[in-house]
Amino acid sequence: MSCILISGGFGYIGSHTATLLSEKNQKYVIVDNFSNCKREIVDKIRTITKNKVCFYDCDIRDNKNLIKIINENKVTSVIHFAALKSVSESIVNPLEYYEVNVNGTISLLKAMQLTGVKKFLFSSSAAVYGEPDFCPIDESHILKPLNPYAQTKIIIENILKDIYKAEKNWSVACLRYFNPIGAHKSGLIGDDPLSGKNANLMPEIIKVVRGIKDYLEVFGDDYPTPDGTGIRDYIHIMDLAEAHYKALNFIDKKNGINFFNIGTGKGVSVLELKKAFENVSGLNVPIKISKRREGDCAACFANPKKANDILKWSAKYDLNQMCESSWKFVNRNSK
């Protein structure tokens, strides 16, 4: 039976993907160093999946331990989520980002090479496109990294291209995620990072409804968009998890390297997302308009046709369902 190693499997995207793989009866083993997740996530995944969670408290830079884990569990493919992901932090501390993201990935790839595992699914990001020249963005759009975080994703994509050039029996897919939001239908797991540094839009809206913040700061209402606020492609976390399952099946069948945009193809503004959350929760989310956030673009949304056609994947959940699941997660986890 095949076994998937999930690096960073206790983080936001990894934990949701793990529950889906379990639902599909896919065996997996998680490697995570708990640097951005709570220990209670293990029990939560166990509760959802009604299964023992096989995991190792291990840093991906610990190459020797990775080799042991791969051999012990007869790993056949890898989904690589483990990384640092804060854009602002990467600008302040670029070395840490290159160290964890790039060196960490090299350590994992070397462990794979030594053990003969050659199927690799990589968490890339829409951040690789920077300020887009056009929307919807397709995979041929030029890559214009605006910060060290995005640079690390491009460097890793390039390393993977070079590996495939050298060894044609690798099978790699790089999934360029747009903006995942929402939570598992149980409401048990959601976007729940350890540090308070997560300043993405949905977690910020949640801070307001939890009373941690008085208002949502809207970064600019003077963009050339219909309501003046920034437009993004929000995607339900379980749709994103499903994309991994489909991509795993794809790399199982075919050697090569492929890049896929994983988004809904629909642009939603800051005020539209806020309104949708208010409708679902019945609560008012006060706002304050402030100046544009540095490095933000007006609009960024995907053309997901390649993933639709090749992976046979498309997003199923709408904005209301994304907000409903986030709201359920807030209610089940407010203390």
Helix (H) or strand (E) holding 309: none
For the window 243-272, what string marks contact with ligand UD1 as x by the rule CB under 6 A?
---------------------------x--
Q: Give the list of residues 6+ apart from residue 309 with CB closer than 8 angstroms, or none.
A: none
Residue from 149, 177, 223, 317 carrying the catalytic annotation? 149
Q: Of the candidates 134, 270, 131, 132, which has an alpha carbon nearest to the alpha carbon of residue 200? A: 270
Partner whose footprint covers residue 219, from ligand NAD, ligand UD1, none (CB < 5 to 8 Å by kind): ligand UD1
Nearest approach in angstroms of CB 16 to ligand NAD is: 8
> How far is Cα 238 from Cα 262, in angstroms, rounded to an integer?
12
Report which residue's Cβ sits closest to ligand UD1: 230
Site for ligand NAD in 51-80 (CB under 6 A): 59-61
Angle, vertex CA 35, rays to CA 33 and CA 37, nearest 5: 100
Tell me if 147 sits within 8 A of 155, measured CB to CB.
no
For residue 178, which of 265, 85, 298 has the smallest C-alpha distance?
265
User: Is residue 136 within the footprint of ligand NAD (CB under 6 A)?
Assistant: no
Binding string, 227-246, against ligand UD1, x = CB under 6 A?
Answer: ---x-x--------------
Asked, as a colleague might, if the bond just before 145 is cis with ω within 30 of 0, I would say no
Separation of alpha carbons 215 and 205, rounded Å = 8
Q: x/- contact string, 274-303, with ligand UD1 (CB under 6 A)? A: -------------------x-xx-------
Does the active-site annotation cover 28? no
CB of 129 to ligand NAD, least distance (A): 12
Query: Which residues sit at the interface with ligand NAD, rule CB under 6 A?
Result: 8, 10-14, 32-37, 59-61, 81-83, 85, 100, 104, 123, 125, 177, 179-180, 193
Where in the sequence numbering do the catalytic residues fall?
Answer: 149
